[in-house]
């Protein structure tokens, strides 16, 4: 305890006892002596002490009256007051404690007793200050954290809105895929919920922010923004050359998203975008593109999107094909388990489509 930091008002009605008490304390504390209530309150105009030693029987105002005034003043109410009394009196002590006294000490006090009483009270003062400092720090932290979360939420929502608009813009270029983005997101959400229920790929999913993942899914065809419209909207099957151009949509996104990542801060869902867009055309048996990844080497994001994307393509009409029925599309997905799709995820998909009408 750094005693030199503490200040004490010693208010006693007897000059000899006042001088004696001051001599005991002055080497360790800043002591302000007062022989009267008038002097006592005069000191308080200039000094807010850490502790008050107050005679119960001051000449111009009783100790009880003084402590009442102290406790009614918000500036002074938390200062601990130790009453100095002549005799032990249970009723008087009870009244003093009821008024807010911290302790009692009796005349004539000894140096060790006075020193110990002061030390005890100042330890309490220090602990109270430490606690208040911690509480203040916590409040400030919580306040700052709340502001940070609010600002970050606004930032994420803003970027989310922008990217949603971008996804809709991309989709609008392909007149045959209207609603594809929102439908694939719906399938993904249902599959994730089923996986969480059945604890499938639980460890991996537990590391995701699912809102970010679903936001990311909207941009799985981001690269189509550079594909010529005559290819996107060709009313027949693509030639091998045209299909080669179409395949570029999964890799062109790299530079686009990296620019966003390099010029924004903390948008974790963009990392899902990278994995989804680049790998949702990979196949479980390694025959997909662009990297020919196989099995669990394909990120889970890409494996999930592969099923959602393929299912929606199957049940949608294209200029070169009619829409399959949901039963037919489901059968095609199931028949490609272990070939195009992750078998575990196909089981999840089967369960989801058995319980949802999509």
Give the Cα separation of 339 and 49 in Å (integer): 81
Tell me which of 127, 152, 224, 294 is the catalytic residue: 224
Strand order in the sheet with 51-55: 30-34, 7-11, 51-55, 81-85, 103-106
Q: Quick check: is 224 catalytic?
A: yes
Tokens of 60: 């111009």
Answer yes or no: are the C-beta atoms of 290 and 247 closer than 8 Å: yes
Give the Cα separation of 41 and 301 in Å (integer): 73
Answer yes or no: are the C-beta atoms of 336 and 322 closer than 8 Å: no
Tokens of 340: 């195009």
Contacts of 220 (CB under 8 A, 6+ apart): 184, 273, 276, 277, 280, 305, 309
Give the Cα separation of 220 and 279 in Å (integer): 9
Give the Cα separation of 269 and 255 in Å (integer): 16
Answer yes or no: are the C-beta atoms of 253 and 225 closer than 8 Å: no
Total Cβ atoms within 10 A of residue 338: 12
Give the Cα separation of 55 and 246 in Å (integer): 93
Give the Cα separation of 8 and 309 in Å (integer): 77
DSSP assignments along 102-124, one per residue: -EEEESSPPHHHHHHHHHHHHHH
Residues marked active site are found at: 224
């Amino acid at each position: 305890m750094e005693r030199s930091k503490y200040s004490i008002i010693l208010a006693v009605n007897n000059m000899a006892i006042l001088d004696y008490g001051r001599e005991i304390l002055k080497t360790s504390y800043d002591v302000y002596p007062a022989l009267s209530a008038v002097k006592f309150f005069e000191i308080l105009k200039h000094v807010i002490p850490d502790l008050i030693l107050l005679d119960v029987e001051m000449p111009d105002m009783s100790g009880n009256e003084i402590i009442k005034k102290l406790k009614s003043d918000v500036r002074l109410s938390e200062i601990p007051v130790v009453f100095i009394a002549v005799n032990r009196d249970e009723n008087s002590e009870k009244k003093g404690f009821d008024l807010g006294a911290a302790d009692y000490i009796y005349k004539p006090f000894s140096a060790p007793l006075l020193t110990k009483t002061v030390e005890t009270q100042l330890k309490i003062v220090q602990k109270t200050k430490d606690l208040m400092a911690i509480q203040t720090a916590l409040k400030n932290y919580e306040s700052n954290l709340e502001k940070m979360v609010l600002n970050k939420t606004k930032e994420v929502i803003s970027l989310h809105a922008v990217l949603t608009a971008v996804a809709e813009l991309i989709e609008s270029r392909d007149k045959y895929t209207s609603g594809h983005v929102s439908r694939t997101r719906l399938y993904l959400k249902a599959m994730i919920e089923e996986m969480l229920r059945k604890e499938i790929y639980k460890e991996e999913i537990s590391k995701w922010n699912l809102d970010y993942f679903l936001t990311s899914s909207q941009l799985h065809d981001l690269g189509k923004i550079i594909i010529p419209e005559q290819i996107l909207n060709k009313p027949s099957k693509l030639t091998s050359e045209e299909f080669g151009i179409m395949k570029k949509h999964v890799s062109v996104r790299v530079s686009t998203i990296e620019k966003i990542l390099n010029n924004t801060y903390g948008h974790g869902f963009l990392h899902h975008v990278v994995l989804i867009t680049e790998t949702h055309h990979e196949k479980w048996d390694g025959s997909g593109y662009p990297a020919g990844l196989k099995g669990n080497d394909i990120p889970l994001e890409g494996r999930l999107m592969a099923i959602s994307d393929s299912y929606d393509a199957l049940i949608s009409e294209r200029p070169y094909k009619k829409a399959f029925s949901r039963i037919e599309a489901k059968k095609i997905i199931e028949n490609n388990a272990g070939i195009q799709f992750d078998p575990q995820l196909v089981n999840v998909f089967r369960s989801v489509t058995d319980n949802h009408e999509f």
